[in-house]
Each structure stands twice: as structure tokens, then as C-alpha cells.
A and B are shown apart, each in its own frame.
Chain A
Amino acid sequence: MIGVIREFVNRFLGRGDATIAVPPFDGALKPNQKLEEAEILFECAAPEDLATDGRAIYLADGPRLLRLDGGSATELRVFETPISALAALPGGELAVALAGREVRVFSEPAAAKPRVAFATGLSAVNALAPAPNGVLIATDGSMTRGVDDWAWDLMEHGRSGRVFMLDPRTGSSKVLANGLGYAFGCCAKGDGALVGESWRHRLIEVRRDGSRRIALPHLPVYPSRLSPASPAGYWLTAFTARTLLVEFVLREPAFRKRMMAEIEPRYWIVPRLRSGDSFKEPLQGAHIKTMGVIKPWAPPRSYGLVIRIDADGAPLYSLHSRVDGVNHGVVSAIEVNGDLIMVAKGPGRILKLPIAPLDKEFGA
């Protein structure tokens, strides 16, 4: 009863869960244009995820599995459905998630048949990561919505994300955590995993015994895939930044319901991976352009961000593509031979930045 009264008061006063507030981009998250300065390695229609075994870089482009060789790509195979996640396993194996509903493990990328497949109970697998003892960690964004329908899940306040531990040796799977606000991105940490919880704007550490710890709360962005960084720590991608407008819509159930029923989904007020394609796009009450020039600090319709975090989850520095940039919707970043290779899903680009100068510039 007290909870109900508190919720009513909070809604009335705009406090607690009803606060419409977004954390600032400051400290280690101070904006720059580093992603705009990145070399464009490759362009394709629907890049989704990257994986590396230390030698080759694999790229998921829609249903195609590609191997990147410098500025060109070789098609290794084409699946029947789009690839939603990739992970290279020790021993040259490759794990592939297809349309979020199935995870197949191949002994080598071009192998005709999978060595093992997991299909039961999966709904929106969007990230895979190798873990010690040959197991695979997978994040399943939502039990109710498919992997491409993440905007629906956000608008419905989805809290059905799960983290799985898949064992390719036995074919068994185990749920490590559930009830997450869109689990997106994972990386092995200790005996568990560091997991991105997009709709709650945070990273959590999930241990093998099921216990959880908030590793990095109150992010001004929606976190997505993670990958290990050398010598320690992680690269965290964020597919877009939070805005007051979306936060406001998320607190207005009647408006949301009507918007979802009556408006074409591409014009909804939701986070975007790219923007500027149509004048019908929703605007926030702020000046996007001044004298015909897009203001970099305007409320973002879409945004590009990669955050370097330390082993405990604290941000060290970040790479941005601001509102006036193009390389938005970064959903994957991996470290290969001293370079950071990233997928900017918005413009369909694979980007490359050398890491040593970044570490030097930001004093990491």
C-alpha cells in the first residue's frame, strides 16, 4: 500500500522512478569526435557483430558471414536467417546466433554442419562471449520480442532479458540471470559475466551462483556489446544516447500505447541507430541546427559511443560520434593487434582506430 502511495506521489511530483533525468556526459564520458576520425575499413549493408580468434576478424553482415582482410572482405558462408551475434571460441571454433532464436557452434567457420546447436527457449540472443572451461555466455534480450524488435521491448518496459551459460561439450544450457531490462552484451569476468542491461542503463556482474552486483550504474546511454581490452578491462559499446524526450515518453503509458498503435514504427520516439533520413523524424524541443549547421551538443536522435572501462567497470575514457557525426549506432568493438575494430550499424561501416595513441591521449 505504501509503495502504491509512494508511486502516486512520485508520479505527481516527478520524483523517484518518475524523474525525467539523464546523467551528464562528463568525466571519462566527456564528448569528443574520435569515432568520426576513425578509418573506414569496410562498408556493408547490415553489419551486426564482430569476432576474432586473434588472427582473423569475422564479421556478421545480415545472413552473411565475412572474413575481413584489411579493407576487403571474403564471404565465408550465408545463413538462412540474419546473424544476431558472433563469438570466436578457443580452438578455432565459431559460435553464431541466428535471428536470436538459435545458437550454432561450428568447429571452424566454413564447416558445413554445426558441432552443436542450442535452440530451446531462446528468443532474442544478441551477444555471445567465450568463458573459461570452454563454455559460452549468451545474452537474450527479451522473452517476448524478437531480436529486431528491441524498440517494442523498450516501449513495453520489457524486463524479460536473460543471461545463459551454454556448454558446447554437453549441449546443456543454464540460466544465470533473468528479469533483466534487455540484456545486451556480455563478457566473461571471474566465474561469471559482465552483462549490459540496456533499459536500466547499467552494467551488472552476474556470478555463476546467480548473485548480481551493479558494476556501472547510471549510464547516459543504452549499453550494448562488450569485449575484453588489453591488458585489463573492457570495451563497452553503446548503441545510442538517452534523451529527455525518450525518458518522458517512457513515463507516459497512454501516449506510448497510442503511438505504438497509430504511428509507423520508424517514426516512433525511440532510440535510433541512425538519423537525419526524414523530416518526419521526431524532434526534441531544442535547436538541432543553427545557421544550417547541426549542433554537436543538440539532443541526439542517434549517437555513437565506445567506452573503455577498467577491470572493475569504472570508465577510463570514451570515443564519441556526436549529433553532427555519422558513425552512429556502434554495437560491437573488438581489439585486434593494437587496433580497435568497431561496427557502426547506423551508416553500415566497419571502423578502425589505433589504441596506443588513445591510451596516451587519455592517460589510461
Chain B
Amino acid sequence: MSDDVVLSLNKATKLYAGIPAIEGVDFDLRRGEIHALVGENGAGKSTLTKVMAGVVILTSGTMTVDGVEVLPKSPLEARHLGVAMVFQENSLVPTMTVAQNLFLGQERFYNRLRGIYIAAQQFLQSLNFDVAPTTAVGALGAAKKQMVEIARAVLHKAKVIIFDEPTATLTPEEKKYFFDLVRDLKKRGVSIVFISHALEEALLLADRITVLRDGRKVVTDDASKFDRARIVQAMVGRDLSHTLYGVRKTTMRKAGARVLTAQNLKMAPMVKNNSLSVFAGQITGVFGLVGAGRTETFKIVAGVLKRDFFYGGEVFLRDKPVRFLVPAPAVRAGVAYVTEDRKVEGFFETASIARNIYLGLMSKFPSGRALLSRREANKVGTDWIEKLKIRAIGDEARVVELSGGNQQKVVIAKSLAQEPDLIIFDEPTRGVDVGAIVEIHELINRLADEGKAVVVISSYLPEIMALSDRILVSRQGKVVEEFSALEATEEKIMYAAIH
């Protein structure tokens, strides 16, 4: 074994109920290198990193740190070995402040709160993170929570830091900060493992890339020897580069009737005097940085959030004013909102696929149903599993057991079962593998072709440009620019989103 290898796995295998999540994986991480792990959902990336972080214990195989064979049985043990992990689902305590979360587990016998806040402030500033240390974590947005997670890992002075989808919730500017931070850590000799579905990030940032498929390692090589097409091919075993963001739109659908108009919508402090329209038979893409008020605007439309009580503006659905205080009447009026946070708002994770979809259908009935039909639930479930090609062990599989892409399909099916006229997709492919992305994109296009009014909110520019017929750019709580698909360029959109 070479001296510059800080961590390695040899024939690593982890079985769940006899089924391998990873099987015979050889992996090594060099000192001061940035190593990207890519693969479809269910490829075993998270399991592999969880093994390194002591969250999961290997069924067979060995792990070494600095040449010494180890078997961490908990994250604390792994941290003592110098391996820290920033999780995809953040592990912060929402009722505690940022500073308290940073120093959690490092408390002294006597803790002076003011001292913690000052130390946290200095530390966050050194990382260029704009987060107030006195804020309760529960009050932070997803991006800032992620920053706190990253800061905590850095604070623990780990020699190996593992990031699971670190940039999924970050804005482009925040991503730049993150990349700079990672490069800075590398200079200090820290080794980085990061999982990302954004292949450009892997190509841009990593020194080496490992591709996993179906729990096995396909290839490890220098990043310079990869391009996007080669990674995708290694990930899925087929060439998807032209179906996924590859081809620029040359035609656009004509607008049908105006389905939705928001006029001077206000919801302090996120939505400020926002006005926009959505038309039938078109995909309206909404791009903006985190905090631009995109999600909040459409949550108001769908009755998930309430606009300002006084002078909150107007929402017109098919030219009639509406004010949905809860989502149920919006569903009945033909509005479906597919959430960006599927794990919290999207489904009941311990319920079956069929039951989740059936519950979506139930919300369409004005006063619910006195009796629920198991047969009807199974039929609805089976129909949608077939329509959206949801891959599960069986119809009775629980949603928690599905991969990210299939979970997202369940959330979409739950909304489409309501037969809406206006469908709002909020980050429809976040944390979804490339194979499922293609299928979800095809579905979104099909809905627009059928004459539905479709809104796609996304922070990922290639996705917005690949899908949208018209692109609305949101900044500081309002739509500031509109582009047709044919005139839009990444530069124009980013300029409008930032300046």
C-alpha cells in the first residue's frame, strides 16, 4: 500500500437482508485528494461512505486508515479516527443555535455561551459563511443548514471529510464558496470524498472519480480522463448524454389559455410584489437563487403558504380570483404542487406506494371519503406504478425502501392522480439519478404536450434550459426577467438572477 493513501477499503461488502448494497468494492483515498463518487440512485454511494463514517458496519471486507486496519462502529469512533461525514439529510438539532450545533459534543464542564458565539462567529467568518451563530438552526433555510454542517466537519479537524450531495441545496454563488473551501481543505492536506449527481461538479472539482453501479465499482480514474459522456455511460451502462440536457431547444410550444396569474403577491420577507402568468400547454421554468422567493410564490398559489394578510396581492386561476388557505381546495381547483422536499412533505415513508398515491387522490374529494377501498387503492397504485415505471420489489413496498428517483416518482404520481390542470414541480430531479431524470423529464414534457400548464422550479440551469418553453428569472422575491426558450442563454439567465 502506498504511503500517500489515507483511507482504503478492500473487498468491502454490505448486505441488507441478504441483498448486497455494495459488493466487493475496492476503494482508496489519497492524502490531500478530492475524490468524487458518482452513480445512479441505489448504486451504493451512500452505503460506501457510511461505512467509512462508521454509520454502517461492513458485512465482509476490510477498512484501513493510515495503513492500520480499523472497523469503526459509530460516527464518534470514525471521528476519533479522523473521518467526518456531512450527511445529505442534515443531522443538526433544530432547536439549538448555530454555535451550539457547531460545538455539540465538544462541550466543556463549564460553557460560557458568549464565548461559544464569539468563537463560532470567528470560525464562520474564516470560512466566508454568512450565517449568524445566534440563529436557531430550525429557522435557517436548507442552504444555510448545509453550511453549518460543513462548518462543523471542518471544525472537527478531520483528515478525511465525506460530503454526501453537498451542493444540492446551494446557490451557484454558495457553490463557489464551497468549492473554494474544499480546495482550501485540500491544500491543508485534508482528503475529501464527495458524492454528487451534478457531474460537472465532479469533473470540475475532483482529482479522481470513482463510478459505482449496482453496488459494484465500475471504474476509478483521474478526473482529467473523464468527460460527461464517459461518466454517464459508466453510471448507467448506456449513452444518455444526448437525452439529458444535451440538446438545445430549437422549437417551443405555443402558449394556450392563461391558467394562472399572480399579481403583486406579497409574503414577507420572501415574496415581494411578485407578478407572473402561467399558460396552458407550456412549460414555464422558474429559475433563481435560493431565497429568490420562487418556492414560496408557488406555495402561496397552491395553498401551502398564506400570503400577507393585508394587501397580499391577488391570485387568478383561469381569470377568477382565488385564495387557498389550505392545499385541499387548490387540489380540487386543479392545482398540484410537487414539493422540493419529498422526505418531509412528499410522502408517508412507512406507507406503501399504492397507499401514498391513493391518499393523493383522496384529497380531491370535497369532504374526503367515509370508506376507503383497499381494492381501489391497489388498482390506482398499480396503474401509476406502471405508468411512471416505478421500480420496487412489489406493490406493497414501503416508500422508504425506494431509491430517490423512485420516491420522486411516487410524489409525482400522488399529484398526477388528482388530474390537475396546473402542475408545479419544485426541484423535480433533486437527488435523483440520471436514469430517473430522463424519465421525469419525459413525463413533464408529456404533460405540457397534453395541454397542461406546467411550472418547473429549478436551481439547475441546464435542467431549466432543457425543459422550459419560457423561463422566468426570480430575484429577491420577484420575477425580474422573462426569456423564451429560443433566446435564453446561461449567461443571460445568471446575469438576471444575480444583478
Contact = CB atoms under 8 A, between A and B. Distances in A.
Same complex origin of A and B:
yes
Contact of A13 (B258, B261, B310, B321): B310
Given A24-B261, A30-B482, A217-B319, A13 B309 contact: yes
A126 B332 CA distance: 44
Contacts of A81: none
A26 B263 contact: no
A314 interface: yes
A20 interface: yes
Contact of A27 (B309, B313, B321, B470): B470
B276 A24 contact: yes
A363 B254 CA distance: 9
B277 interface: yes
B261 A23 contact: yes
Contact of A22 (B257, B275, B484): B275
Contacts of A314: 257
A351 B321 CA distance: 38
Which applies to chain B's interface (DSSP): helix, strand, loop or mixed?
strand
A20 B310 CA distance: 11
A244 interface: yes
Contact of A24 (B275, B279, B321, B470): B275
A14 interface: yes
B319 A22 contact: no
Contacts of B390: none
B413 to A, nearest CB: 30
B311 A14 contact: yes
Nearest to A13: B310
Contact of A218 (B313, B316, B479): B316
Contacts of B254: 363
A20 B275 contact: no
A11 B13 CA distance: 68
A74 interface: no
Interface in B240-287: 252, 254-255, 257-258, 261-264, 275-277, 279
A97 B308 CA distance: 49
B240 to A, nearest CB: 30
A21 B323 CA distance: 15
A214 B316 CA distance: 15
B472 interface: yes
A297 to B, nearest CB: 9
A28 interface: yes
Contacts, number: 59
A218 B262 CA distance: 11
Interface string B275-310: 111010000000000000000000000000000011
Contacts of A30: 482, 484
Interface string A144-182: 000000000000000000000000000000000000000
Contacts of A190: none
B314 interface: yes
A20 B264 contact: yes
Given A14-B310, A21-B313, A218-B319, A27 B255 contact: yes
Interface in A193-239: 214, 217-218
Interface in A16-41: 16, 19-24, 26-28, 30
Which applies to chain A's interface (DSSP): helix, strand, loop or mixed?
loop
A19 B321 CA distance: 11
Nearest to A312: B257
Given A13-B309, A13-B310, A19-B314, A26 B264 contact: no
B255 A28 contact: yes
Interface string B314-345: 10100101010000000000000000000000
A243 B482 CA distance: 20
B82 interface: no
B300 to A, nearest CB: 14
B255 A24 contact: no
Given A19-B314, A21-B314, A27 B264 contact: no
Contacts of A20: 264, 311
A313 to B, nearest CB: 10
Interface string A42-59: 000000000000000000
A233 to B, nearest CB: 14
Nearest to A31: B482
A310 to B, nearest CB: 10
Interface string B478-498: 010010100000000000000
A27 B314 contact: no
Nearest to B258: A27
B275 A14 contact: no
A218 B309 contact: no
A218 B255 contact: no
Interface string B145-169: 0000000000000000000000000
Nearest to A364: B254
A22 B255 contact: no
B311 A24 contact: no
B20 interface: no
A26 B311 contact: no
B313 A24 contact: no
A218 B255 CA distance: 17
Contacts of B482: 26, 30
Given A27-B470, A30-B482, A21 B319 contact: no
10 contacts: A13-B310, A15-B323, A23-B263, A26-B275, A30-B484, A214-B319, A217-B319, A218-B316, A218-B319, A314-B257
Given A20-B311, A24-B277, 12 more contacts: A13-B310, A14-B311, A19-B311, A19-B313, A20-B264, A21-B264, A26-B479, A26-B482, A27-B258, A27-B279, A28-B255, A314-B257
Interface of A: 13-16, 19-24, 26-28, 30, 214, 217-218, 244, 314, 363
List the 9 closest pairs (A to B, CB-CB), nearest first: A14-B311, A24-B275, A21-B263, A21-B264, A21-B314, A217-B319, A19-B314, A26-B277, A26-B482
Interface of B: 252, 254-255, 257-258, 261-264, 275-277, 279, 309-314, 316, 319, 321, 323, 470, 472, 479, 482, 484
